Amino acid sequence: MILKSDKWHQGILGIVASRAVDQENKPALVMQYDEESQLYKGSGRSLKASTYLKH
């Protein structure tokens, strides 16, 4: 699941992602647009049985 809002502070993105995973039982990517850098910043959380990165 992907969630985004221009109103979220980047400091809470991890908390929002964790809560979304807990409530929906799906991996979550939470993003906010940073006007200063003109980039999206985000945080992702996965289920315990999966991962986003491959080593």
pLDDT in tens, 11-42: 999 999 999 999 999 999 999 998 889 999 99
Spatial CA neighbour of 43 closest among 54, 55, 23, 20: 20
| pLDDT score for 52 | 61
Q: What is the reported pTM?
A: 0.77
| DSSP states along 1-55 | -EEE-TTS-GGGHHHHHHHHHHHHSS-EEEEEEETTTTEEEEEEE--TT--S---
Distance CA 55, CA 53 (A): 7
